[in-house]
Amino acid sequence: MTTNPDEPRLRPIGVIRSELASRAGAPRQGSEGAPDAWLEIDAWAADGLDGVAVGDELIVITWLHQADRDTLRVHPRSDPANPLTGVFATRSPDRPNPLGLHPVTVRAIEAGRLRVGPIEAIDGTPIVDLEPALRTPPAR
């Protein structure tokens, strides 16, 4: 990738702490048996959590830091029997801007961290945003 100073930079707000250590062992979707995990939120961003409550349905947006950003076509689910498909028609982590969207439920809230799940992101994955689930139009 070229580096262009005009390209927007993400500032991670925290990190995933999960029992999932590597992509090889991780489920491909939260609904496929993924565990709960902690979202450790940096102190500077903690004020942004005001109003988040246990039971809320959120979308966690992560930066899939191990992804290959030069991939534009994949065999879905890494199965060579599936025809090559554009990454924008899939949830492949390998894509030009590897943003993970993870719908989760908030299980518990402690100082500086949230317990959420299920979530297939691996330990150490940077978190870039939390937003209310898309299902129902929330306050903006």
Q: Closest approach of Cβ 37 to its own copies, in Å?
A: 16
Distance CA 24, CA 43 (A): 31
Q: Is 128 in the site for its own copies (CB under 8 A)?
A: yes
Distance CA 89, CA 83 (A): 12
3, 80, 110, 111: residue in contact with its own copies (rule CB under 8 A)? 3
35, 96, 112, 117: residue in contact with its own copies (rule CB under 8 A)? 96
Instruction: Give me Rg for the CA atoms of the chain.
Output: 16
Distance CA 56, CA 34 (A): 18
Structure tokens at 137: 């139009």
Binding residues (CB under 8 A) for its own copies: these are 1, 3-4, 7-13, 28-29, 31-32, 45, 47-52, 56, 58-59, 61, 63, 65, 69, 72-73, 76-77, 82, 84-92, 95-97, 99, 101, 103, 126, 128-132, 134, 137-140
